[in-house]
Amino acid sequence: GAGVSQSPSNKVTEKGKDVELRCDPISGHTALYWYRQSLGQGLEFLIYFQGNSAPDKSGLPSDRFSAERTGGSVSTLTIQRTQQEDSAVYLCASSVRAGPSTDTQYFGPGTRLTVL
């Protein structure tokens, strides 16, 4: 079956421009997570959605970052006025969230963002 997909796979942008990253979760998965991973570093939690609501936005690094999810499916992560320190791989994951043992997160391939 189809896994989590993300687009674009690579994005090169100039400092100060806005970018939009897209995540298509596995069909039927109600939970969706965004992470950021800089080169050689661990996963940095950004935000997660349960359905269309975002109970935890604590990981968003600044007000330049925002995310939305409509229809309980596709999510977009927007970074405004990009800075060089925003360069990283942005990973999306989804999970079923239907019971105590079903929170396995399935990751997409990521979007590699490079800000020049």
Partner 1 sequence: GQNIDQPTEMTATEGAIVQINCTYQTSGFNGLFWYQQHAGEAPTFLSYNVLDGLEEKGRFSSFLSRSKGYSYLLLKELQMKDSASYLCADRIGDSGGYQKVTFGTGTKLQVIP
Residues that bind partner 1 (CB under 8 A): 33, 35, 41-43, 45, 48, 50, 55-56, 91, 95, 97, 100-101, 103-110
C-alpha to C-alpha distance for 111 and 93, rounded to whole angstroms: 12
Nearest distance from residue 95's CB to partner 1, in Å?
8
113 neighbors 90 (Cβ within 8 angstroms):
yes
Shortest gap between Cβ of 52 and partner 1 (angstroms)? 13
* Minimum CB distance to partner 1 smaller for 64 or for 97: 97
Residue 86 is classified by DSSP as G
| Cβ closest to partner 1, residue 18 vs residue 56 | 56
Give whichever of 68 and 103 is closer to partner 1, judged by the CB atom: 103
**8 Å CB contact between 1 and 106:** no
State the Cα–Cα distance between residues 32 and 51, nearest whole angstrom: 8
The DSSP code for 81 is S
> Minimal distance in Å, beta carbon 105 to partner 1?
6
